[in-house]
Chain A
Amino acid sequence: MNSPFARLEKFCLALFIVAAGLCASHASAQGLDPAALLKPATDTWPTYNGDYSGRRFSTLDQINAGNVSLLSLAWVFRTPTHTLKSTPLEVNGILYFSSPDNVWAVDARYGHQIWHYHRASEGDHIGNRGLAMYEDSLFFTTPDAHLICLNAKDGTMRWDVALADDKLGYFATMAPLVVKDHVIAGVSGDVTDIPGFLVSIDPKTGAVQWRWYTQPKPGEPGSETWPKDTDAILHGGGMTWMTGTYDPELNLLYWGTGNPNPVLAGEGRPGDNLYTCTIVALNPDTGKLVWYFQPSPHDVHDWDAVQTPVLFGAEFKGKPRKLLGQASRNGFYFLLDRTNGEHLVTAAFIDQTWSSGIDAKGRPIAKPEATPSPDGALVEPGSDGSTNWMAPSFDPQTNLFYVNARRLFSIYYNTVETKAEGWGGRDRNLWANSTVRALDYRTGKVIWNHELGDGESIAGILTTAGHLLFTADNSGNLLALDPATGNTLWHLNIGARLVASPMTYQLDGRQYLLMPVQDTLYAFALPEKAASSAKNPH
């Protein structure tokens, strides 16, 4: 009964509880309680999009339309030779951001490096969008399609799991998303005909909780959208490139999926090719599909539907609705009821030449002559899309949905002579220019347009309660626009193009605006005197 072993056992258990208690209290002091993700405080930016909604709207208003002209540089952090495409997290005064193979922890007030983690890898180094945090653990994905867990305190590795086999062409770029006790991660691929999936990982152990493939298994619902008796459905692509969004009330996870493979040669995969180029709603606890909507059925232009599914509650036809808006790479804005996937609106948000109309389900209908062909098909947009991975924004103060859009013409070639494998062709860009557009969320109608110049912009958008919209043009200028009109309120020639998305946070009564520009992180703030007397003029 009270043997020495039993006493030892009790002692050990007590020690464990004390240790666990210490861990927990430490985590809450320095780390991030997953419950805090439900309503992030203004002194944090705890997920890729700042919160679960993907609106990229901050309630901060110290920097506002009345004083933005005073904006000045607070500090600069350089990561020589690493292009930053990530949106930093900011938790308890520390920024965490990444580039492929690299993670930095930097003092959010003063810009000093706290630690740097590096892990060399093979695989596609196209970019890394950022991290996720759970208690005192950080998570990021790698070019060889691993998910790494780091101790946020010192950047040491806790575990490293392979999400997929990089030898088969998998890589990863996305910032994972923590939902309750799940780290949700996706994978990327490009030229090889491999299936995409989302995977849920236990934040503590790295164990797989569920995996959802973007193609159904042969015989399952959706498999009828692929040819029978071929291997097409097993090689259908549909990568989960970007971070999704989450509605805690409905307990639904929203994710956009990538284009089908072979990319431009669709003749071997007749049908809609579900669930590629699709917005899906999944149960985050089980990975089960709840509903879906497909912006680009049977895509043959590389127009993935991975753009942020933005969540907002607003009126639609006189009734308050839980809405989901996406400005998709194919040039169309889609508005859905996110409780059940009911289609509400489809509207082109920029010029396009590929679609002849909208079908009964709300999906654009492709013109046959827009299909890539051996002699070349001239199509707008090109494969880089009418928009791409850069962050859109929804501003509840203006009720406008903002997207960075492009006019882009390209010639698409199908070069396949036998069975299509990989891309099966390519498009050749002819000309592009870019614009920020404000859309009426109810109709997709363009309310204002702000030209960004020639070329393809990949600058993300941030809106704030200070009646400001931050983005950048194609000439090296950072911009603050009036979100109601698109007029410029502030600009700065930073000398390079923004290829990431801005973010903001407030610490010790001072609001910081962060712009990762190429290899440099710029922190802007008001001069201290102006900050302390700042009033929002609206």
Chain B
Amino acid sequence: MLWLRNHASFFRGLATSIGAVLTLGVLSVSSARSQQTESSPAPVQRGQKLFGQACAFCHGADATGARGPDLVRSPLVAHDLKGELIGEVIRNGRPDKGMPAMPTTDDQVSDIAAYLHARAKEALESSGVPNTYPVEKLLTGSAEKGKAFFEGAGGCKNCHSPTGDLAGVSRKYPPIELQAHMLYPDSQPVMATVSLPSGEQIKGVVSHFDDFVVSIRISDKTGWYRSFLRKDVKLELKDPLAEHRELLHKLTSADMHNLFAYINSLK
């Protein structure tokens, strides 16, 4: 569908009728931006209750549709600001589609609109996994098998200890973060040994590294910065995360979830 800019209001009129929108070949879709600014919880809760009583039978308890259309994806909801479009439909019904008119107060319309906008916002925010993600969902593996992997095939115990660096690790991060850190921890200093043509060796922590230049913080009392042309020196790097990268390739789904169950048990 294409319309000239000054026809936008014309479209808005059309959008009040889903039927009209469909004749234009546009499919019903959800709200790009919640038209409401932050909905306070009270109207949303009241709206949810009202929706459950009056609308859920046809539109589904969560407004994703049943006999009637999905309202989370509704263009009309996307264009509605504060219930002015939603209210019109509720009060007039859609007799052609079997939706009865329902007498409602302004406050009730406003609450139902708040609920529908909150539902659309949830869909918009579905591309995030919150830090409050429940640990129960992640705990599908066996801690016992995870422990065996940690001590055996995984090779984890070569660098880590449940009573040493990992003591109480599950209390340090929310579960979803713990899972990510278990697989790949935050970056660690990479150690470099730079051998000069003279034979002199300089050790330090890498601060820059590319094909052409390596720069380090020298591991001595001074801690001064030095940079070298890669072509002039020999370079040896020790990256403590190299084993983690190798493990990413080897881990099966079962290994990963067993290991998480074990790491999560290290309270």
Interface residues of A (CB under 8 A from B): 122-123, 146, 159-170, 190-195, 199, 201, 206, 208, 211, 231, 234-235, 262-263, 351, 353, 369, 374-378, 380, 409, 411, 413, 415-416, 418-426, 428, 430-431, 451, 453, 473, 475-477, 488, 491, 493
Contacts and interface: CB of A to CB of B under 8 A. Distances in A.
B211 A491 contact: yes
A415 B129 contact: yes
Q: Which size class do B's interface residues fall under? A: 35 or more
A195 B2 contact: no
B183 interface: yes
Contact of B126 (A353, A375, A409, A425): A425
B145 to A, nearest CB: 15
Interface in B6-64: 8, 11, 15, 25-33, 35, 60, 62, 64
B249 interface: yes
B4 A161 contact: yes
A257 to B, nearest CB: 16
Contacts of A206: 4
B97 interface: no
A422 B124 contact: yes
Given A191-B127, A234-B27, A413-B129, A421 B64 contact: yes
B146 interface: no
Nearest to B248: A409
B210 A419 contact: no
A415 B30 contact: no
A192 B245 contact: no
A421 B30 contact: yes
B256 interface: yes
A377 B5 CA distance: 45
B183 A421 contact: no
B253 A378 contact: yes
B211 A168 contact: no
B196 interface: no
B267 to A, nearest CB: 20
B248 A168 contact: no
The 3 closest A-B pairs by CB, nearest first: A169-B32, A423-B127, A475-B210
B99 to A, nearest CB: 17
A231 to B, nearest CB: 6
Name, among A374, A422, A451, the residue most crowded by chain B CB atoms within 10 Å (CB to CB): A422
Interface in B62-81: 62, 64-65, 69-70, 72-73, 75, 78-79
B179 A170 contact: no
Contact of B179 (A208, A376, A425): A376
Interface stretch (B103-111, B132-140, B161-169, B218-226): B132-140
Contacts of B1: 164-165
A252 B1 CA distance: 24
A472 to B, nearest CB: 11
Interface of B: 1-5, 8, 11, 15, 25-33, 35, 60, 62, 64-65, 69-70, 72-73, 75, 78-79, 122-129, 133, 137-141, 176, 179-180, 183-184, 208-212, 241, 244-245, 248-249, 251-253, 256-257
Given A164-B1, A235-B73, A475-B210, A419 B62 contact: yes
Given A162-B5, A191-B124, A428-B129, A488 B72 contact: no
Contacts of B256: 376, 378
A195 B210 contact: no
Contact of A411 (B60, B183, B241): B183
Contacts of A162: 2-5, 8
Given A165-B11, A235-B73, A422-B123, A194 B180 contact: no
Contacts of A169: 29-32, 78
Given A192-B124, A421-B126, A431 B133 contact: no
Nearest to A369: B253
A477 B30 CA distance: 43
Interface centre among A170, A206, A419 (most CB of B within 10 A): A419
5 contacts: A165-B11, A192-B123, A376-B179, A421-B70, A491-B212
Given A160-B4, A421-B64, A192 B31 contact: yes
B29 to A, nearest CB: 4
A235 B211 contact: no
B8 A431 contact: no
Given A353-B249, A378-B183, A475 B208 contact: yes
Given A374-B137, A378-B248, A422-B30, 4 more contacts: A168-B30, A231-B65, A420-B126, A488-B211
Contact of A160 (B5, B65, B180): B5
A194 B126 contact: no
A411 B123 contact: no
A211 to B, nearest CB: 8
Q: Looking at A194, A201, A493, which has the most chain B CB atoms within 10 Å of its CB?
A: A194
B249 A351 contact: yes
Given A411-B183, A477-B210, A375 B138 contact: yes
A353 B69 CA distance: 39
Contacts of A191: 123-124, 126-127
A451 B28 CA distance: 45
Nearest to A412: B129
Contact of B26 (A165, A369, A416): A165
B184 A192 contact: no
Nearest to A236: B27
Nearest to B138: A375
Contacts of B125: 422
A188 to B, nearest CB: 11
A173 B167 CA distance: 49
Nearest to B22: A234
Contact of A430 (B33, B183, B212): B183
Contacts of B29: 168-169, 192-195, 235
B2 A375 contact: no
A353 B62 CA distance: 36
B222 to A, nearest CB: 26
Nearest to A423: B127
A191 to B, nearest CB: 5
A430 B1 CA distance: 41
